[in-house]
Amino acid sequence: MKVLITGGAGFIGSTIASACLDAGHEVVILDDFSAGRREFVLDRPLVEGDIGDRELLDRTFAEHKPDAVVHCAAKIIVPESVEQPLSYYENNVAKTVTLLQAMDAAGINRLLFSSSASIYATEANFQVTEDSGLAPNSPYATTKYMMEIVLRDTAAATDIRVMSLRYFNPIGADPQMRTGLQIAKPTHVLGKMLEAWLNKDTFTVTGVDWPTRDGSGIRDYIHVWDLAKAHVAALENFDQVTSAENPYQVINIGTGKGSTVKELVQAFEDATGEPLRTVDGPSRPGDVAGAYTVSTRAKDLLGWQTELTEAQAIKDAIQWLDIRRERLGY
């Protein structure tokens, strides 16, 4: 299968590209490098540009004729989305509408969408399935929620069939170290831990008053390689899982296990063999208590489940730091 990956020079898109290539598929990367890295394109065919550029999309679809699109391109920083909501709605919603129009015009009708578990409403026990309530709590999460509605309606009215994959919390790096997290100062929790550990600094647990077992936020940390392989399974099962009668599917992609931030600190200390200095702090704008999936839909429909542990993801993230310094210079 030939797969066009928007945002394929970013953390997750580049890992998906590696997983697709390892499984024998062809990839084409489309990225504007607003957050992605040229180094992450490696020797993969590249279209440099914006998903909102209709002419570029028309040319790209005519030239490469992909069988499917994996749509990872988005702005992803929650606090930034609180400050600049319009740029998030423009990039993540309006430009995705352009992408859909171009796909429809070109007759490209398989789409995997990078959705997010951040759209779930908080459940008393933090456990969610695809049928749980939704209550996006930031402009970023709202862009994912809005796009799911747009995609559902588009799938109902056109030949485009869609799987919205609701990612939980990807951490780690490609185990072969082809790519990993590119940002030097990531806003997500493991990135903050790594930064504190590297700089011999203090890690702030942002939010300690959540109604979780220890007050810190709870998340479902999934190894990014497992997440990438879920896309391969989704692509390979696309025509069995979606149909004209059932053109839109939502699937949670997580481990099924919830870890609190404080538990992740413990796992981090186990991985490094060193204590991590921590301090309790307030939650950040747009933060939520969190969730983990208890759905079996990914296993039932895609035959996919996670294989790698949280400990392995932490180790791979640490190993990636040296590679990143070598390859990206920071």
Ligand X SMILES: NC(=O)c1ccc[n+]([C@@H]2O[C@H](COP(=O)([O-])OP(=O)(O)OC[C@H]3O[C@@H](n4cnc5c(N)ncnc54)[C@H](O)[C@@H]3O)[C@@H](O)[C@H]2O)c1
Provide the annotated active-site residues.
140
Among 3, 4, 5, 11, binds ligand X (CB under 6 A): 11
| Number of residues in contact with ligand X under rule CB under 6 A | 29
**Phi-psi group of 213: left, alpha or beta (phi > 0 → left; psi -120 to 50 → alpha; rest → beta):** alpha
- According to the binding rule CB under 6 A, does residue 254 interact with ligand X? no
Q: Which of 55, 54, 99 is nearest to 73 (CA)?
A: 99
Which residues in 97-136 contact ligand X (CB under 6 A)?
Answer: 114, 116
Nearer to ligand X, 130 or 159 (CB): 130
Among 60, 132, 138, 169, binds ligand X (CB under 6 A): 169
Which part of the chain contacts ligand X (CB under 6 A), choosing from 50-58, 121-129, 211-219, 259-267?
A: 50-58
Which part of the chain contacts ligand X (CB under 6 A), choosing from 11-19, 104-112, 155-163, 240-248?
A: 11-19
Nearer to ligand X, 173 or 302 (CB): 173
Among 3, 4, 5, 13, binds ligand X (CB under 6 A): 13
- According to the binding rule CB under 6 A, does residue 31 interact with ligand X? yes
Shortest reach from residue 110's CB to ligand X, in Å: 17
β-sheet bridge partners, residue 290: 218
* Residues composing the chain: 330
Site string for ligand X, 175-214 (x = CB under 6 A): -------------x--------------------------
Shortest reach from residue 10's CB to ligand X, in Å: 2
Site string for ligand X, 51-90 (x = CB under 6 A): xx-------------------xxxxx--------------
Angle, helices 54-64/95-106, rounded to nearest 10 degrees:
40
Among 21, 23, 33, 323, binds ligand X (CB under 6 A): 33
Among 21, 35, 46, 177, binds ligand X (CB under 6 A): 35
How far apart CA 91 and CA 85 sit, in angstroms, is 10
Shortest reach from residue 213's CB to ligand X, in Å: 23
> Does residue 16 contact residue 72 with C-beta atoms inside 8 Å?
yes
Shortest reach from residue 200's CB to ligand X, in Å: 26
Name the site residues for ligand X (rule: CB under 6 A): 6-7, 9-13, 31-36, 50-52, 72-76, 91, 95, 114, 116, 167, 169-170, 188
